[in-house]
Amino acid sequence: MNQIAAPVLRPVVRLQIEVAPPTLLGTLNGIERRMVSIVGGRVQGQFSGSILPGGTDVQSVRDDGTIELMARYAVDLGDAGHLLLENTGLRRTATEDDRPYFRGRMRFEAPAGSLAWLNSAIFLTSGYRDGSVVHLEVFEVL
């Protein structure tokens, strides 16, 4: 009889993403919207690189303060080329009864070669924001 294995998380990389102050767009279609420009940063772990300026995190702020985010940005890997990253997730601040929550799903677009495996796996993120820096840890779901 086949059994379904529980997912296991394997650490892959850590990101330090430098961001600009948000641009407040107001209420659009009944939802508070804002955009956060990504101005740089770095990636370290199974591969390393520099986060390129020019990415954007488009955010929707719910009535309860929870933030839905969708960020797209690129990483320069030096001689290995570039990666395109997309992180979607939720962030909420701590309450009296709860800790801060910052979780998401990362998708990679990687070039052929040693990092091509990033194109065909599922990745989860866990993070926190500290001033103008977002810290994310990326895990492969095995």
pLDDT digit string (tens) for 34-82? 999 999 999 999 999 999 999 999 999 999 889 999 999 999 999 999 9
SS3 107: strand
SS3 121: coil
Q: Are 142 and 7 in contact (CB under 8 A)?
A: yes
Report the pLDDT averaged over residues 22-37: 96
- The residues spanned by each domain of the chain are 9-141
pLDDT of residue 37: 98
pLDDT of residue 118: 98
Could you confirm whether domain 9-141 is CATH 2.40.160.20?
A: yes
Task: Give dist(CA 131, CA 48) in Å, integer.
Answer: 23
* Number of CB atoms found within 10 A of residue 49's CB: 20
Name the amino acid, one letter, at 38: I
